[in-house]
Amino acid sequence: MSADPITGCQVHIQGIVQGVGFRPFIYLLSMRYHLTGWVRNTSSGVEIEVNGCPDDITAFLQAIRAETPPLARIDRFETAPCAPDGYSSFEIIESLPQADDFIPVSPDMSICPDCQRELFDPHDRRYRYPFINCTNCGPRFTIIQDIPYDRPKTTMAGFNMCAPCRHEYVDPLDRRFHAQPTACPDCGPQVSFVAEDTPRVDGDEAIRLARQFLRQGKILAVKGLGGYHLACDAFNPQAVDELRRRKRRSDRPFALMAFDLDAALRHCTADAGERALLESRQRPIVLLEQKPSSLIAAQVAPGQQSLGIMLAYTPLHLLLLEPEEGFPDLLVMTSGNLSEEPIAYQDADAKIRLQGIADGFLLHDRPIHMRVDDSVLREVDGGPYPIRRSRGYAPDPILLQREFPPILGAGAELKNTFCVTREKYAFLSHHIGDLENLETLQSYQEGIQHFERLFRVKPEVLACDLHPDYLSSVYAHQRAAGQNLPLYQVQHHHAHLAACLADNGWDSPEPVIGLSFDGTGYGPDGAIWGGEFLVGDYHGYQRPYHLAYAPLPGGDASVHRPARMALAHLWQAGIEWEAGLPPVQDLCAEERTVLRSQLEHHINTPLTSSLGRLFDAAAALIGVRQKATYEGQAAIELEIAADPHEQGLYELEIKDGLVDPGPLWQALIADWHNGLPVNRLSARFHNSIAQLSLQICRILRTDTNVRNVALSGGVWQNRYLLERSLRLLREDGFHVLLHRQVPTNDGGIALGQIMVAAYNHFIH
């Protein structure tokens, strides 16, 4: 018998390959193919050297790509032959850190089926242990302080592994081999329950007491993965009301959590795609339609038909929601903060901030390094459509089509995220929030520092919004001045367009039509833009059409007063404020007089082409809502009111690059006088905007030959408008790009900013 010649091969793999069971996977494959050699983590990925027969090595290399572990992601795979080195076995050897290298970090992942089985197995040593995890699941991004990803560089550093845990940790064949957050009841974090007038209790008893509190209708603060939640019984109207009162939360809907899919489906309808999203490893909040039979308290989501619901994603959540007779199917699980503040995540701070809101605290002693909110998605056109991209997704990079030197995109003002790039990776941050108070701004700056350190990024170019007063712009301007870096100020709606292109991996020199529809964005002419029909690419844009300007009485404050917005639009169109119209009735005579003189003398009435405000005006005009407690509330309720069977619509006038809504208001008022019900009026209004989109796209196609259309901006969160526009555009032969990886709202702006800066600075 003659042995095949032994050869050698070196492999270098980049991607998400650390902390996801990659080395044991390689170890097992080496055994399957009788190879010797080693595997090790480097600060830029994983390195492998193997010796063996050529056929075995080929099969080994194929298997790496074909059988990649669930949480791993291979972005680059390089092999090179080498001389055999006479290894006698295959080993996992020590990491080799290099100062400037970087690797993507895995997001936090929901508990895996294996761990869940052990959690409820009375014979397992981690039976009912709220912090059970393994290489396939558990905390990652929220506990990592630095790379390479090793336990001393996580918030698990303070917990010394016991002998059995250590044994699993060093055994390449164990599911917990090098699972950095691994722990057990003997050596790991512990849960405790604290409430006034109750002695502190630990372990299972803590969970029992917390459940008792919930059953009694009390409000509980729960420390989770990326921060604190506030929880209460979703079926108890007093509890939900009280939570809303204490949190000082407007009418924004609360998120819900269910133990499992069955529990969620008792209250919501979900198709196969929506079920898959609910059960995905990321476990986002999914927006679903509530079943009429469900008895969820109305105060959970006032005025809404859809509910934001997620499945329990940590072992602690599973224990908290464990089904039992008389225990609620669903808990409200809203972020632990006062309205507008960032979510609490540090224990001392949470205690102070949540004291007046929560009756009791379910705590644990595993520190959270990075605050991360729950993600929110909905399903659109058979795919995920992100509303808020955070836990489970961040900091997974968006893969770019080209490599650029490092860039920082500062993002927008509302729903802020920032973005740093390195090579082909765009690391879009978790949701930071509205940059309007000191806490959020601080969390923004710390977040940028953390990302730059974690991914070893030193931005060479900066990008921010054109609006000089956004706190993110102020930050970017200061930094550009301090570090003498080039700064690109990117127009908001151009950034939306670019974000949508990057989201779709667009790398064609052809321009696209960009329908950038949102509430507000700073225009170079000083007006507030938002109903923009653009033609452009990453480099630049033209604005062939936009919604005609209307005065915005009171500026930003107008988002809370749809009635005033409606009257401003009527005034602009020269339509009389008839006594019977709902917004006229809403304002007293004196208010109307003041408003009229404000409009006539241009007192604090900046001009706007905002489509978001047009929706607000329509909502007020037909009597859906006159005052809003949060931005977009009137538009959301207008959408809910729309009758999907209605086919009627109104014309808007398109002339000289302007879209004039005057004829639409006339027709809407005439229909209102004729007694057409609100649901048909609303649908006709929606249909009009969808038809308008098609009409202008047709004109632009004739003029420019462009047939690709990108839909971006917060208005496209309106599902009725989105689905109808999609259908019309596709039927007419357009290719439509919509957001799939990053939000269509301002949460995606930072990605667009970096693309515009990259192309303008590096590609000519």
> How far, in Å, CA of 313 to CA of 387, rounded?
19
Amino acid at the residue 553: P
**How far apart are the C-alpha atoms of 336 and 683, rounded to whole Å?**
37
Size of the site for Zn ion (CB under 5 A): 10
For Zn ion, give the closer residue by CB, 144 or 297: 144
Interacting partner of 746 out of Zn ion, Fe ion, none (Cβ under 5 to 8 A depending on kind): Fe ion
Check binding of 532 to Fe ion (CB under 5 A): no
Q: Looking at 20-28, 130-138, 199-207, 446-454, which segment touches Zn ion (CB under 5 A)? A: 130-138
Selection from Zn ion, Fe ion, none that 394 binds (CB < 5 to 8 A by kind) is none
Residue 228 belongs to what H/E stretch? strand 228-233
Closest approach of Cβ 137 to Fe ion, in Å? 35
Output the smallest distance, CB 746 to Fe ion, in A.
4
Compute the least distance from the CB of residue 166 to Fe ion, in Å.
51
Q: Does 115 bind Zn ion (CB under 5 A)?
A: yes
Among Fe ion, Zn ion, none, residue 512 binds (CB under 5-8 Å by kind) = none
Query: Considering only 230-238, 588-596, 722-730, 739-747, which stretch makes contact with Fe ion by CB under 5 A?
Result: 739-747
Query: Parallel, antiparallel, or unpaired: how do β-strands 461-465 and 407-409 relate?
Result: parallel
The region of 115-123, 366-374, 476-484, 548-556 touching Zn ion under the rule CB under 5 A is 115-123
Instruction: State both tokens at 14.
Output: 């980049």
CB neighbourhood size of 166 (10 A): 13
433, β-bridge pairs: 416
Indicate the residue type of 31: M
Q: Report how far residue 373's alpha carbon sits from residue 717's, in angstroms, rounded to the nearest whole number.
A: 19
Both tokens assigned to 53: 């027969």
Question: Per-residue x/- mask for Fe ion, residues 697 to 736, rule CB under 5 A?
Answer: ----------------------------------------
- With contact defined as beta carbons under 8 Å apart, do 179 and 166 qualify? no
Alpha-carbon dihedral of residues 182, 183, 184, 190, nearest 10 degrees?
-140
Please list every residue from 174 through 203 that binds Zn ion, using CB under 5 A: 184, 186-187
Closer residue to Fe ion (CB): 518 or 671: 518
Residue nearest to Fe ion (CB): 518
- Say which entry of Fe ion, Zn ion, none residue 134 contacts (CB below 5 to 8 A, set by partner kind): Zn ion
What angle do the packed helices 662-673 and 678-704 form, to 10 degrees? 160
CB of 185 to Zn ion, least distance (A): 7
Shortest CA distance to 462 belongs to which of 479, 441, 445, 444? 479
| Binder of residue 527, out of Fe ion, Zn ion, none (CB less than 5 to 8 A by kind) | none
Q: Which does 136 bind (CB under 5 to 8 A by kind): Zn ion, Fe ion, none?
A: Zn ion
Nearer to Zn ion, 22 or 533 (CB): 22
CA–CA distance, 695 with 353 (Å, rounded to integer): 51
The stretch among 64-72, 95-103, 396-404, 517-525 that binds Fe ion (CB under 5 A) is 517-525
Whether 228 contacts 367, CB under 8 Å: no
- What is the closest distance, in whole angstroms, from the C-beta atom of residue 208 to Zn ion in the complex? 23
Q: Which of 28, 59, 82, 162 binds Zn ion (CB under 5 A)?
A: 162
Residue 518 or 639 with smaller CB distance to Fe ion: 518
Judged by CB under 5 A, the residue of 106, 746, 754, 759 near Fe ion is 746
Amino acid present at 107: P
- In whole angstroms, give the CA distance from residue 133 to residue 115: 6
Residue 113 CB, shortest distance to Zn ion, in Å, is 8
Residue 628: left if φ>0, alpha if ψ -120 to 50, beta else—which one? beta
Under a CB-based contact definition with an 8 Å cutoff, are residues 216 and 325 in contact?
no
- Judged by beta carbon, residue 206 or residue 721, the one nearer Fe ion is 721
Comparing CA positions, the residue from 443, 247, 212 lying closest to residue 345 is 443
d(CA 458, CA 145): 18
Q: Report the DSSP beta bridge partners of residue 760.
A: none
Q: Which residue has the tokens 């000289």?
A: 656
Query: Is residue 69 near Zn ion by the rule CB under 5 A?
Result: no
Among 242, 373, 379, 518, binds Fe ion (CB under 5 A): 518
* Interface map 136-155 toward Zn ion (x if CB under 5 A): xx------------------
Smaller CB separation from Fe ion, 354 or 495: 495
The DSSP result for 557-584, as a single string, is GGGG-HHHHHHHHHHHTT----TTSHHH
Separation between Cα atoms, residue 444 and residue 438, nearest integer Å: 10
Residue 341 interacting with Fe ion (CB under 5 A) = no
Between 230 and 611, name the residue whose CB sits nearer to Fe ion: 611
Distance separating the N- and C-terminal Cα atoms of the chain: 63
| Total of residues contacting Fe ion (CB under 5 A) | 2
Cβ proximity to Zn ion: between 114 and 653 the closer is 114
Choose the contact partner of 165 out of Fe ion, Zn ion, none; CB within 5 to 8 A by kind: Zn ion
Q: Which residues bind Fe ion (CB under 5 A)?
A: 518, 746
Q: Which residues bind Zn ion (CB under 5 A)?
A: 112, 115, 134, 136-137, 162, 165, 184, 186-187
